[in-house]
Amino acid sequence: MSRQDEGRGGADGGPTVTERVLGILSAFGPGAEALTLSGIARAAGLPLSTAHRLVGELAAWGALERGEDGRYRIGLRLWEVGALAPRSLGLRERAMPYLEDLYEATRQNVQLAVRDGHEVVYVERLAHPEAVRVFSRVGGRMPLHATGVGQVLLAFAPSVVQEEVLAGPLPPLTPKTITEAHALRRALAAVRREGVAVCDGMVDPVALSVAAPVRGEDDRVVASLSVVVPSAGAEPRAIVPAVRAAARGISRALGSPAARRRPLGVVTPLTGAAAGEPAGAERGA
Amino acid sequence: MSRQDEGRGGADGGPTVTERVLGILSAFGPGAEALTLSGIARAAGLPLSTAHRLVGELAAWGALERGEDGRYRIGLRLWEVGALAPRSLGLRERAMPYLEDLYEATRQNVQLAVRDGHEVVYVERLAHPEAVRVFSRVGGRMPLHATGVGQVLLAFAPSVVQEEVLAGPLPPLTPKTITEAHALRRALAAVRREGVAVCDGMVDPVALSVAAPVRGEDDRVVASLSVVVPSAGAEPRAIVPAVRAAARGISRALGSPAARRRPLGVVTPLTGAAAGEPAGAERGA
DNA sequence: GTGCTCCTTCCGGTGACCGGAAGCTCGATT
DNA sequence: AATCGAGCTTCCGGTCACCGGAAGGAGCAC
């Protein structure tokens, strides 16, 4: 009874079965899409026989699939369930047409991301094969302070979150990454003022990103949208309006009251999807 | 000891913890994205207190998220893990640029699907807001025999699978749906011969879909791609080459040897009719 | 042949899990 | 206001499902 516990939220005894199962799923990640049974056991800290049993059950259900090479991968069934996550599906579904337009107009990288804790999670990404290489991938994570989408999400996050991030370490990804709290604080203020974040070379020296906030029903910022272009010869001013317009269009599609108001005399540059639905028609003014 | 079991694959005793956990995940589905605790317990056949404990653990890990309304939804963390499924991520990643092009060219619905058992699972979908409404959704399932993508996947599936499906019931979705085994058999032969499936009004009376197979490294058909257009006034012949070209492009990106070969005079089920069409047919327009 | 890694199966002891029951917080209904 | 019902949370003792060491097999490299 005096044995120090390792999991189980402070109670004594080993981790619960549920925790072990989730631990098995955690063993998979970017760069670890296919694992051997032993690999899973090692990563999850389980005895081989235990892992064997649990993995067998997961595979029987379809959460894992066993390839011809004997290694396990995440199964289609788990993907299906995951696809039901509202922060992915609902958002994605409505955002797609706008992302399409933006992609089509820029022929570069278009990204859609949400915040989870102190990180950005990329929910969707459209990348032209010839565009600048970006490090993000769908389902991938990045720190908030170093990315365009991250700065937007942070700028509109609850102040508790902001302070936590500002208090914590701000590791640099490139020499240009903001690493000082007061500089970040100023950047966030600018983002709130301008409604966009422009990050030059903070993730990759040769890439520049322009990001804008996407708002939900209650006008809270629920996501962020960005375009990544080559840093060299980039003309942010040409991109900013398009990004802003797309973000606003998605916000409107999500039911944001603020986005419903017409920006006086501003014609949405990307008419394709935006013009499709006469959103403001019902309630004149 | 004489109590009849319900789960656990035939052994006596109740379902295992893992099965219960997976049962909880199964409670979610299209049309059931948000559930109360009681709802989950009911759907999963668990006592409330048991469900409470397990759901709590799942939520603590991030597999489920609890909304402000107290209801549970699939969490971002689970979505992340699911996104690692190779049949989704790897495929999607390479297919996207081609789907983009196809979408851009047609401004209709573009779909990418894989087979799981006797069903189609939609992995990606690009839909124009003004396009024909389709019933499919990302992560959704449909029967193999009634859809364009399904017929393609079935036509190139192991013969065991084909026979199973042909032997089973073929429920109609519309009056036009193929419901007789021998008619389906002929349709599948045609798909193999032509390298495309054209389904008019089998899912929705007003929609027509054109589907083509996507092949992987070992030339096995791993996915199917389709375009759905309004049935009225549709001109499949205008779409078929584009669909075929896109499917071939994705196959090549996936490393299919057959798709790598130049179409010059090569006669294979995949290329047969496509031989006359240069790969970039839609670009020429 | 020898040594390695990885996988699979078996089985007895035990402590994690189960779930009935009681109490709580909401709204809706009378 | 009182009553009802649905849903949620916590508690706790008995028991049986889970754990994991150990043994054995398959494949590969040296």
From the list B16, B31, B28, the residue with the least C-alpha distance to B65 is B28
What pLDDT is recorded for position A75? 93
| pLDDT score, position A276 | 34
- Among candidate residues B82, B110, B139, the one where a domain is terminated: B82
Helix runs in chain A, H state only: 17-26, 37-44, 48-61, 76-82, 89-106, 148-155, 159-167, 181-194, 236-254, 257-260, 271-274
Contacts of A113 (CB under 8 A, 6+ apart): A120, A121, A122, A123, A136, A147, A149, A150, A153, A223, A224, A225, A226
Task: Assess if residue A41 is contained within a domain.
Answer: yes
Which nucleotide's C1' sits nearest to the alpha carbon of B46? C19
In B2-61, the residues whose Cβ lies within 8 Å of chain A are: 9, 16-19, 21-22, 25-26, 28-30, 33-34, 54, 57-58, 60-61
How many domains does chain B contain in total? 2
Interface test mutation site (partner A, options B53, B58, B78, B115, max chain A beta carbons within 10 A):
B78
CATH number where B277 lies:
3.30.450.40
Task: Report how far apart, in Å, the C-alpha atoms of A22 and of each of A141, A235, B195 are.
Answer: 19, 46, 42
Look up residue B190 and give its two tokens: 């045609």
What range defines the domain where residue B246 resides? Answer: 89-284
- Residue to test with chain A: of B79, B101, B111, B124, most A Cβ within 10 A: B79
Indicate if A107 and A73 belong to the same structural domain.
no
One domain, residues B100 and B14: no
Between CA A237 and CA B182 the distance in angstroms is: 62
Q: Is residue A232 part of a domain?
A: yes
Q: How far is B220 from chain A (nearest CA, A)?
A: 14
In a domain? residue B53: yes
Judge if A26 and A66 occupy the same domain.
yes
CA–C1' B49–C22 (A): 13
Q: What sign does the dihedral A270-A271-A272-A275 (CA atoms) show?
A: positive
pLDDT number for residue A13: 54
> Do A126 and A21 lie in a common domain?
no
- pLDDT for the residue B13: 54
Q: Hey, what are A6's tokens?
A: 């390792």
Mean pLDDT of the B250-254 span: 92
**Residue numbers of B between 91 and 130 with CB closer than 8 Å to A:** 92-93, 96-97, 100, 103-104, 114, 116, 121, 126-130
User: Looking at the structure, do residues A150 and A220 belong to the same domain, yes or no?
Assistant: yes
B122 and B263, same domain (yes or no): yes
- Mark whether B143 and B227 lie in a shared domain: yes
Asked whether residue B78 falls in the same domain as residue B93, the answer is no
- Could you say which of A46, A81, A116 is where a domain stops? A81
> Which residue is nearest to the C1' sugar atom of D10, using CA?
B49
What are the distances in angstroms from CA B137 to CA A127, A200, B30?
22, 37, 9
User: B180 to chain A, minimum CA–CA distance in Å?
Assistant: 29
Let me know if residue A233 belongs to a domain: yes
Position A282 in a domain: no
Q: How far is CA A58 from CA A222, B10, B218, in A?
A: 33, 17, 27
A76 contacts B88 by C-beta, under 8 angstroms:
yes
Domain shared by B170 and B116, yes or no:
yes
Q: Give the A window 153-192 contacts with B, CB below 8 Å.
A: none
Which pLDDT score, from 0 to 100, does residue A174 have? 92
CA B119 from centre of chain: 7
Q: Which of residues 42-61 of A touch strand C (CB under 7 A)?
A: 48-49, 52-53
Q: CA–C1' span, A13 to C14, in Å?
A: 12
User: Is residue B71 located within the same domain as residue B20?
Assistant: yes
Q: Which of A119, A113, A79, A116 is nearest to A95 (CA)?
A: A113
Which domain CATH number covers B71?
A: 1.10.10.10
Looking at B82, B110, B136, which one is the last position of a domain? B82
pLDDT tens across the length of chain A (285 residues): 332 333 333 344 568 889 899 999 999 988 888 999 999 998 998 888 889 999 998 999 999 999 888 899 999 999 999 999 998 888 998 899 899 889 888 888 999 999 999 999 999 998 887 777 888 889 999 999 999 999 999 999 999 999 999 998 999 999 999 999 999 999 999 999 999 999 998 999 999 999 999 999 888 999 999 999 998 877 878 899 999 999 999 999 998 888 776 543 334 444 333 333 333 333 322
Q: Is B135 on the interface with A (CB under 8 A)?
A: no
CA distance A154 to A152: 5
Residue B2 included in any domain:
no
pLDDT at A83: 92
pLDDT greater than 70 at residue B272? no
Is the Cβ atom of B47 within 7 Å of strand C at any atom? yes
Asked whether the beta carbons of A211 and A243 are under 8 A apart, the reply is: yes
CA distance A259 to A282: 14
User: Which amino acid does the sequence have at B123?
Assistant: V
Q: Do residues B54 and B114 both lie within one domain? A: no
Provide the pLDDT for residue A152: 97
Tell me if B3 is assigned to some domain: no
Specify the pLDDT at position A14.
65
> Mean pLDDT in chain B?
83
pLDDT of residue A258: 80
pLDDT of A63 reads 93
Residue A285 included in any domain? no
Q: How far apart are CA A212 and CA A231, in angstroms?
A: 18
- For the record, the structure tokens of B111 come out as 């779909």
Torsion of CA B189, B192, B193, B197, to 10 degrees: 90
Q: What is the pLDDT of residue B15?
A: 83
Residues B159 and B279 in one domain: yes
CB contact under 8 A, A273 and B129: yes
The CA distance from B246 to B96, in Å, is: 10
